[in-house]
């Protein structure tokens, strides 16, 4: 099966880098591998639009306050920038947790949408976090993508074609309802996507909801309703989650004190910051001050 081939390829790439404890491996700027040999604690990260294939093992993900167990043979398609908390629940040295993650490029999706007949947006309910089985056509394309890495000529010629094929499969597949909604520039889905980008780019600054709602082309009440439908949270709660995740990375990396991290992410009161940090993560920010060699500091948070 294609998934078995992907597992073997993934293990081969991790073994080739000769770092037994490595958890992430970037094959290309848009393609990542994750491998864990033991269960982990909950970690909050920001996911940009991605397709994630769980090749082996099990993880628990909390999205929109709902816990979801995701196991081998399943895939996750995320269409918007979401704050997600997850942990690996099944992994061992003999059978590690392995996942393959690919970033979704909306520009490629738009070019496909514009160059073909309009795709139906009415099939199925549009969700920003879509769980399903692993599509064989996508796993086979990803297998071909992984095999390119050792041949620069193939990378140059074939990579754009395979990436385009994968995006086409995502756009037309059973998990692609929300992606198809996103292709309509004035849809509520695409308007919320733009609003999320505004909040992400300015999360350290106070946000004015009426201004963001206007930017999204909605009234305040409608904006709140649709924002929560997509993200599972309110705009202010979403901003707070972004601040907490950024601050935690700073503290773990040893780059800031608790007070300076609080100020850096937009808090005026370190006391309020510490209180909300403990509410978010279950412990004080001071507990995360010790530097950690295995922290993933990529701007794109692929998560687990």
Write down the pLDDT at residue 302: 40
- Band of residue 3 on the pLDDT scale cut at 50, 70, 90: confident
Q: 113-116: list long-range contacts, CB under 8 Å, 24+ apart.
A: 113/171, 113/180, 113/183
65 has a pLDDT exceeding 80: no
Q: Read out DSSP for 258-271?
A: HHHHHHHTT-S-HH
Instruction: Enumerate the β-bridge partners of residue 36.
Output: 97
Question: How many H helices and E strands in the chain?
Answer: 11, 10
Tell the residue number behind the tokens 């990579």, with chain if given.
159
What is the reported pLDDT for 297? 33
Specify the pLDDT at position 167: 97
Q: Which pLDDT does position 294 carry in this prediction?
A: 38
Find where tokens 């940090």 sit: 277
Residues 103, 247, 129, 177, CA torsion sign = negative
**Overall average pLDDT of the 215-224 stretch:** 94
For 65, how many CA atoms within 13 A lie in the half-sphere containing its CB?
Answer: 8
Residue with tokens 């073994």: 15
**Any idea which of 4-13, 40-49, 205-214, 283-292 has the lowest mean pLDDT?**
283-292
- Neighbour-count burial of 20, counting CB atoms closer than 10 A to its CB (0-12 exposed, 13-18 middle, 19+ buried): exposed
Is the model's pLDDT at 259 over the cut of 80? yes
H or E element in which residue 272 lies: helix 270-281
Q: Are 78 and 52 in contact (CB under 8 A)?
A: yes
Choice between 304 and 180, residue whose per-residue pLDDT is larger:
180
Segment 271-294, tens digit of pLDDT? 999 999 999 998 999 999 865 443
What are the C-alpha distances in Å from 247 to residues 90, 239, 254, 266, 289? 28, 12, 11, 10, 11
- Which pLDDT score is estimated for 255? 78
């Amino acid at each position: 099966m294609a998934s078995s081939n992907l597992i073997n390829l993934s293990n081969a790439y991790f073994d080739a880098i000769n770092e037994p404890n490595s958890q992430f491996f970037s094959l290309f700027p848009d393609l990542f591998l994750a491998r864990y040999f033991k269960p982990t604690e909950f970690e909050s990260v920001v996911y940009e639009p991605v397709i994630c294939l769980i090749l082996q093992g099990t993880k628990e993900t909390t999205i929109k306050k709902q816990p979801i167990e995701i196991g081998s043979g399943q895939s996750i398609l995320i269409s918007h920038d979401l704050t997600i908390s997850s942990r690996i629940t099944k992994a061992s040295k003999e059978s590690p947790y392995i996942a393959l993650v690919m970033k979704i490029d909306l520009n490629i999706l738009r070019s496909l949408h514009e160059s073909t007949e309009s795709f139906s947006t009415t099939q199925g309910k549009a969700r920003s976090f879509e769980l399903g089985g692993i599509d064989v056509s996508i796993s086979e394309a990803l297998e071909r993508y992984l095999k390119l890495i050792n041949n620069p000529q193939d990378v140059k010629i074939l990579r754009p074609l395979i990436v385009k094929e994968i995006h086409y499969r995502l756009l037309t597949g059973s998990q692609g309802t929300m992606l198809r909604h996103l292709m309509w520039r004035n849809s509520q889905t695409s308007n919320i996507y733009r609003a999320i980008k505004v909040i992400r780019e300015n999360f350290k600054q106070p946000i004015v909801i009426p201004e963001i709602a206007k930017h999204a082309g909605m009234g305040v009440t409608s904006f709140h309703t649709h924002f929560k439908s997509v993200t599972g949270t309110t705009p202010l709660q979403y901003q707070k989650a972004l601040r907490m995740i950024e601050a935690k990375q700073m503290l773990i990396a040893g780059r800031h004190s608790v007070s300076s991290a609080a100020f850096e992410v937009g808090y005026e009161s370190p006391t309020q910051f510490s209180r909300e940090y403990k509410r978010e993560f279950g412990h004080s920010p001071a507990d995360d001050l010790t530097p950690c060699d295995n922290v993933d500091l990529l701007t794109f948070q692929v998560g687990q």
